[in-house]
Chain A
């Protein structure tokens, strides 16, 4: 159990984390979601007592991190894959950590085996790829067999196989009753791994909810229609009291609040030709973007993010164009299946 109370961090005049309070409960994967620059890493560093909060506090089992005896046996963290001495071998990097917390040396071999780094255990870690670095970081987090595990953007820059591996690892660890706290800026990744969701934007708490509730509340369902007689269809729908919104980019109409059956029957009655009639569910990505749209720090103003309109239904007009980043990550993830 981790508790944050009114956690605030200011750098000069800039508030990176603003009065953040939430709890991370055991036995589930808690996703920590927010756009880049939302204050996720700063929050996690304060949870580990690396950065000093301007105000507020973090308690782990009711204690400050600094007060934990042999902390690696309670909390394991992957903050930055490169947070190792590159001139030292993977084995020795882990050995010095193990020794500092009274962890037996055989455990070093075990965790290296677990993350699949045994063949390169004696190699200097500066030659490691990003994926190998992430695995080494995860090995260091698992070293003390801790009940609490924290991962900051663990899938960043990983290939599909690595992403799948981390996802399964986290689920397995949570199934063992551990507390898993994982940050990401990818809703799609969270949807697959997290049971509980904490969303922040510009350092402020935007949502603290179960994944199921978030999906229920935020996924918009609608019907997409394409017709060569679009104007007539619009009129007909209007007469029936149904609102349709045209999407010029795709030449389709989007209709909220009615089923595909009703729209189809209505069109048939008026002998309107339909080229497409499909029920749609807005993705969680969009729900997340809608939620954080006002608090995104780094807006990119590229007109109509390329490739975003393709198979992404219903892009709300006020969504910032950084959705382009989601798509490429999404593609990488899909490739892994």
Chain B
């Protein structure tokens, strides 16, 4: 059985359910929409700022502010791709067709992550260009140093977050459990830990805090203080989280009864 057969099959699965299109559409609309809104507000504020304050302003990061909320829909997408197999009972049919657990899971994750990356990149480029257009003179361009890295990085960040969620869903095997852990975690817990000096020591190593370092052009604009890692180091930390989650999901799938 060829791996490509599993990829074709998983692509059919993902394109023939409604949850795929609505979660990805929401991720994109929310990210772009909030980004445009914050960019508009920022432009009004910038006109009144001193030159020094303007130098610390990162127009790239501002245009990606919407990702804070759009990423939640990416998490739901990742969870749904895996957990609907369990909630519908399809998993038994799927595993009877593709009994090799690694081939089944990695086939599914490859297809879903590729799609998340595609939508993530589309979202990040649209957010960036729209945000810069709104910021006008205060904006930046892709030609500026590190900006292209940040824009592509934003798309990669969203895809990694979706993949992380897929791993968690493979471990928990339930939409409700996965979503009710992941959403509060990324919306509240991670942000709260990174507000206070005392907890940031640990909070900065959480997947979203570390991974979002990749979208900074002006250093330390997101956290406000320095981090022991740079943009690539941060992304690397996030990749480790994702690897752990996917490995956990695979081990659960291999060990537990379907």
A residues apposed to B, CB below 8 Å = 45, 48-52, 65-66, 68-72, 75, 77, 79-80, 82-89, 92-93, 95-97, 99-102, 140
Contact = CB atoms under 8 A, between A and B. Distances in A.
Contacts of A70: 1
B88 A85 contact: yes
Contacts of B36: none
B97 A72 contact: yes
A96 B108 CA distance: 12
Contact of B99 (A45, A65, A97, A102): A65
Interface of B: 1-2, 5-6, 8-10, 12-13, 16-19, 84-85, 88-100, 255, 257-258
Given A51-B258, A83-B93, A84-B89, A96 B12 contact: yes
Contact of A100 (B16, B89, B98, B257): B98
B96 A68 contact: no
Nearest to A87: B17
A198 B246 CA distance: 42
A68 B2 CA distance: 13
Given A65-B99, A92-B16, A99-B5, A85 B92 contact: no
25 contacts: A50-B96, A52-B255, A65-B99, A68-B99, A72-B96, A83-B90, A83-B91, A83-B92, A83-B93, A84-B88, A85-B90, A87-B17, A87-B18, A87-B84, A88-B13, A93-B90, A95-B12, A97-B9, A97-B94, A99-B8, A100-B9, A100-B97, A100-B98, A101-B1, A102-B1
Contact of A50 (B16, B19, B258): B258
A92 B6 CA distance: 15
Contacts of A140: 93
A85 B13 contact: yes
Given A79-B92, A87-B19, 5 more contacts: A48-B95, A50-B257, A79-B96, A85-B88, A96-B10
Contacts of B258: 45, 50-51
Nearest to B10: A96
A96 B255 CA distance: 25
A65 B1 CA distance: 13
Nearest to A102: B5
Contact of A71 (B2, B10, B19, B99): B99
A30 B115 CA distance: 46
B10 to A, nearest CB: 7
Given A69-B1, A99-B8, A100-B6, A48 B16 contact: no
Top 4 closest pairs, chain A to chain B, by CB: A100-B9, A51-B257, A99-B9, A92-B16
B209 to A, nearest CB: 35
A143 to B, nearest CB: 9
Contacts of B10: 96
B89 A80 contact: yes
Interface centre among A48, A92, A95, A96 (most CB of B within 10 A): A96
Contact of A99 (B12, B91, B99): B12
Contacts of A95: 12, 16
Contacts of B98: 100-101
Given A96-B13, A99-B8, A80 B92 contact: yes
B102 to A, nearest CB: 11
A92 B10 CA distance: 11
Contact of B17 (A65, A68, A85, A97): A85
Nearest to B2: A102
B80 to A, nearest CB: 10
Contacts of A101: 1, 5, 97-98
B95 A50 contact: yes
Interface centre among B6, B12, B91 (most CB of A within 10 A): B12
Contacts of B257: 45, 50-52
A34 B18 CA distance: 41
B92 A88 contact: no
Interface centre among B13, B92, B97 (most CB of A within 10 A): B97
A100 B108 CA distance: 11
Nearest to B103: A100
Interface centre among A48, A89, A97, A100 (most CB of B within 10 A): A100
A241 B18 CA distance: 77
A92 B1 CA distance: 20
Contacts of B92: 45, 48, 50, 79-80, 83
Contact of A85 (B1, B8, B84, B99): B84
Contact of A84 (B18, B90, B95): B90
Given A69-B1, A83-B89, A101-B5, A89 B96 contact: no
A72 B16 CA distance: 21
Nearest to A42: B257
A80 B96 CA distance: 12
B82 to A, nearest CB: 12
B99 A66 contact: yes
Contacts of B1: 69-70, 100-102
B245 to A, nearest CB: 23
A82 B12 contact: no
Contacts of A68: 99
A136 to B, nearest CB: 10
B100 to A, nearest CB: 6
B158 to A, nearest CB: 24
A88 B16 contact: yes
